[in-house]
Structure 1
Amino acid sequence: MAEKGDIELAAVLKRYGGTVAVDTISLKIPAGTYCCLLGPSGCGKSTTLRMIAGHEDISDGDIMIGNEVINDLPPARRGTAMMFQNYALFPHLDCTDNVAFSLKMKGVAKAERRQRAVEMLRLVHMQDYAARLPAQLSGGQQQRIALARALITNPSVLLLDEPLSALDPFLRARMREELKRLQKELGISFIHVTHSQEEAMALADLVVVMNRGKIEQAATAREVFNQPRTAFVARFIGGHNIIDCTVDAAAGTIRLPGHLPGAVPLPARIDGARQPVSVRADRARLTPPAPGQAGFAGTVRAVEYLGSIVHVGIGAEGLGDCTIDDGEFAVTVDERSFFASPVAVGDRVSVSWAPEEVHVLEG
């Protein structure tokens, strides 16, 4: 087994013929971290996971666990275990034998491997289903069996490829809690591929947002949500309005719509005539902009009641030389405030936000 420790990818490249699937990425995942690789389909996250597992060859670069380069090691010698999206349980074996299968392949005696399988079933709260076949289990129960089978080899890293995608929303939330509990209890690293922002935010110590084979941002969930590095991250994470603004290089500011004499200071790293910024939907207000605030007037295009919050989509007008992503600005209002002063599609409204709510993006 590979040494338990940090997982590090150093300039890792994966090329299929002339197509680059993973483009020279570098990443360090501290030991004992729950890491989510997040991004749209085709961004390279599953390919990255399979390279760590040893199911895909690396075109260039190195992957290390602890102090050991594992590029040329077969999957069974990397100290990793993989849980596949479709669970891949053997239909003719009961739960105990499914969990114990990898130990059987290693020549572990029957009594010992069954004892260890029962311990794993207890860990995932499935000991009462030990004699059942996979067809007699629900999707969530099958997932727990697949988890137990992956964990029985005592890996230093558990790799999960879209493990919750086949579950209904209620069970998905329950299994998120279970995965987090197991990761903390076992103290090993989990690397979890998902396209769900909610899933990554709920689970991860480290969120790695990928796009077109590159890493756009790697940070805590809170940092990714509050301080997205790029416009892509802000769009993909959601909850952000992206405004393309004019740069006033002479004044050293970014011009925003509204009553902002000083506008937003221009960071030293920014160089160009236009600059995207983001404003969180829950930080904007349906009120006219006061002196020192940014804002605009517009027409309500959509109202969505979502329980504790109401989403209001507003077609932006009066933006001057600024433009808004998709031409619609989102404001999230808590339920009580919305129904104290409701708006409907077609209403004219004003939107405002404080300058400190503006986050400058890299591009």
Structure 2
Amino acid sequence: METPFLEGYRMSKAADIELALVTKRYGTTTAVDGVSLKIKAGTYCCLLGPSGCGKTSTLRMIAGHETVSDGDILLGNTVVNDLPPARRGTAMMFQSYALFPHLDLVDNVAFSLKMKGVDKAERREKALAMLKLMEMDVYAARRPAQLSGGQQQRVALARALITDPQALLLDEPLSALDPFLKVRMRAELKKLQAGLGISFIHVTHSQEEAMALADLVVVMNGGRIEQAAHPREVFNRPATAFVARFMGEHDVIEGRATGRAGDDTRFEVPGGAVFAAPTAADNGAPVAIAIRADKIRLAEGEAGYGFTGLVSAVEYRGATVQVSVSAPGLEDFSVSLDEADFFRTPLAVGDAVPLSWSREHVHVLA
């Protein structure tokens, strides 16, 4: 979507959002557990994690659609815990878009202004201006059922943005779209956020979506934040074994320290194999490392930086081929190979193959 109307267009305000030890309980279940996070004004933030990790509850507490059990949510310098959604300075776009089927696009977009008592002529003028911003003004007289999924999304965005919010909250906004439209709408969302200059807080379970959109990726698990950083930092330097596994494209090896070898710690996995980690650890202490799957070679390596296993699966992915290798204590260890390299000397399930990696590509996990 070209956005010529965004030239020189900025929302009138933007503010930092801060969560200070925020907890959400549903009866005896803790959905969000003491989360602290600061999202600077103008940030595209993705809350990322598996189902049940607490990301949607966190978003709904920011929006005011869920109460906070403990802790504070601040928008700018204001604690908004007790403010209703309409007075928080945020706007929320729901996963279903929640458009009114019996109203045309103008009345859909203008609905929140109608609830605030804005004069009909003024609210329709503002709604048309917002539809023009989304390049949907030519469809102003249509109803939602007459639009494609991508067009409905633009109308939902226009309705959320007409209140001039300090932050836009999006609950899995791309989940209902087909794969091709998802890619296009990602680019549109990113361009829109940069043009408006406000924060977007976007809940997703898609690692690819978060990497493509976010300035700040917040990986959640079990109601807590595992890591909050730029997507490149999260991908290349995952903070924990959970982040490394969830982001994909990493192999994780976990064991216990058995001694030192120069600047490395040797550690043993349950199957008995011994590996090296460029860190210091006391004997018996847990040690975990991650290696990117595309940094692993099909070759013998120095002691501690490789092993020999059996191919358990081969998956063709177009530009790359994913080879899964198993060994005692190491199940589904993945190697990402260039397509041409793989088919030069192809592998089959059951083949024995040596794997190795360089010390520089070993990332020590917390």
1:96 to partner: Cα distance: 1.3
1:12-31 to structure 2, matched below 5 A, reads 12-31=22-41
Deviations along 1:136-166, one digit per CA (max 9) or x if unpaired, are 1111111111011000111000000011111
Please report how far the alpha carbon of residue 250 of structure 1 lies from its aligned counterpart in structure 2 after TM superposition.
Answer: 5.4
Q: Determine if contact 1:292/1:355 at 8 Å carries over to the other structure.
A: no
Deviation at 1:272, TM superposition (A): 4.6
Which deviations, in whole Å up to 9, do the C-alpha atoms of 1:112-139 show, x marking residues without a partner?
A: 2112112211222212211111111111
The SS at the match of 1:184 is helix
Structure 1 residue 292 displacement after superposition: 6.4
The counterpart of 1:177, out of the listed 174, 181, 187, is: 187
8 Å contact 2:14–2:197 — kept in the other structure? no
Q: Aligned in 2, Cα 1:54/1:267: closer, same or farther, shift over 3 Å?
A: farther
Match of 1:274 in 2: 286
Name the CA shift for 1:14/1:272 in 2 (closer, same or farther; >3 Å): farther
Q: Could you say which residue in structure 2 is the equivalent of 1:308?
A: 319
Equivalent in the alignment of 1:206? 216
The 2-side partners of 1:188 and 1:232 are apart by 31
1:340 corresponds to which of 339, 344, 354: 344
CA contact (8 A) 1:15 1:59 kept: yes
- Corresponding residue to 2:123 among 113, 122, 140: 113
Aligned to 2:61: 51
Partner SS for 1:125: coil
Whole-Å separation in 2 of the counterparts to 1:250 and 1:287: 25
- Residue 221 of structure 1 deviates from its aligned partner by 0.3
When structure 1 is superposed on structure 2, of 217-226 and 238-247 the one drifting more is 238-247
Amino acid at match of 1:136: Q
Q: Is the 8 A contact 1:208 1:217 kept in 2?
A: yes
- Does the 8 A contact of 1:247 with 1:253 survive in 2? no
- Superposed counterparts of 1:109-258, under 5 Å: 109-249=119-259, 253-255=264-266
Q: Cα deviation per residue 1:266-294 (whole Å; 9 max; x = unaligned)?
A: 247x88533121111011011222x4671
Q: Which residue of 1 aligns with 2:21?
A: 11
- For structure 2, the residue ranges without an aligned partner over 5 or more in a row are 1-10, 269-273
Report if aligned partners of 2:257, 2:265 keep a CA contact under 8 Å in 1.
yes
Q: TM-score, normalised by structure 1?
A: 0.91
Count of residues in correspondence between the two structures: 350
Q: Aligned equivalents of 2:148 and 2:15: distance in 1?
A: 35
AA aligned to 1:352 is S
Following the alignment from structure 1 to structure 2, what is the Cα–Cα distance between the partners of residues 341 and 50? 52
Task: Give the secondary-structure state (helix, strand or coil) at the position aligned to 2:34.
Answer: strand
Amino acid at match of 2:276: A
Corresponding residue number in structure 2 for 1:320: none
Question: Structure 1's 12 and 267: CA in aligned 2 closer, same or farther, altered over 3 A?
Answer: farther
Structure 2 counterpart SS, 1:35: strand
Any idea what the Cα deviations from partners look like across 1:29-66, whole Å, max 9, x if unmatched? 01100000001111111111011011111111111011
Q: Partner of 1:329 in structure 2?
A: 333
Match of 1:286 among 298, 302, 305: 298
TM-score (normalizing by structure 2): 0.91
- SS of residue matched to 1:82: strand
| 2:310 alignment partner in structure 1 | 299
Structure 1 segments unaligned to the other structure (5+ residues)? 318-322
